[in-house]
Homo-oligomer: A and B are copies of this chain.
Amino acid sequence: MNPEENLAKLGLALPAPGKPVAAYVPTVRTGSLVYVAGQLPFVEGKLPKTGRLGENVSIEEGQMFARQCVLNGLAVLKAEIGDLRKVKRVVRVGAFVACADTFADQPKVANGGSELLQQVFGEKGRHARAAVGTNALPLGAPVEIEFLFEVE
């Protein structure tokens, strides 16, 4: 099972690992756990769109942005551990969805990322998750996702 080959089968590739937008680091390892900082859906250093679900961002777009957060998270994870085959388990995903006060489909949006993790890692990709709404995210991003991985 090779996660990067699974990505390739989906027509996807890891981006270059992004740099934090502020005074922190993208990953911290402690024991067998790697914490990945909250990822925004940057594509080549830019947010494709700003805004909120239930307003100017559709659920389909939100799912696409959640996928991009996952790709960006895997890119910095790989920079930390060298090879995604060392992932033993995706442990936890924290998904924040910028949305209108009446928006209730945060799980559908977060699924864009969760389903990709399962496509890439198989059973090891099945994770606990907290998906919540928020009124505003950094730089106007519609989605932010943080990750916790167990690694070899």
| Chain A residues proximal to chain B, CB less than 8 Å | 20-28, 30-33, 35-38, 50, 52, 89-94, 96, 98-108, 110-111, 114-115, 118, 126-140, 144, 146, 148, 150
CB-CB under 8 A from A127, the residues of chain B are: 24-25, 28
Do B129 and A38 touch (CB < 8 A)?
Answer: yes
Instruction: Using known A-B contacts A89-B30, A129-B37, determine if residue A22 contacts B136 with beta carbons closer than 8 Å.
Output: no
List, in ascending order, chain B residues with CB within 8 A of A92's CB: 28, 35
**Alpha-carbon distance A68/B113, docked complex (angstroms):** 28
Copies in the complex: 3
Q: A104 to B139, Cβ gap below 8 A?
A: yes
Given known pairs A30-B32, A37-B129, A94-B130, the reply for A100 and B24 (CB within 8 Å) is: no
CA distance A42 to B144 in the complex (A): 26
List B contacts of A35 (CB < 8 A). 91-92, 128, 148
Interfacial chain B residues near A148, Cβ < 8 Å: 35
Tell me the minimal C-beta distance from A23 to chain B in angstroms.
4
Contact A25 B126 (CB under 8 A): yes
How far is it, in angstroms, between the C-alpha of A102 and the C-alpha of B148 when the chains are bound?
29
Question: Using Cβ atoms and an 8 Å threshold, which residues of chain B touch A146?
Answer: 128, 130
Structural contact, A38 and B131, CB atoms closer than 8 A:
yes
Given known contacts A89-B28, A115-B23, A118-B23, is B137 in contact with A37 (CB within 8 Å)? no
Q: Would A136 and B100 count as touching, CB distance under 8 A?
A: yes
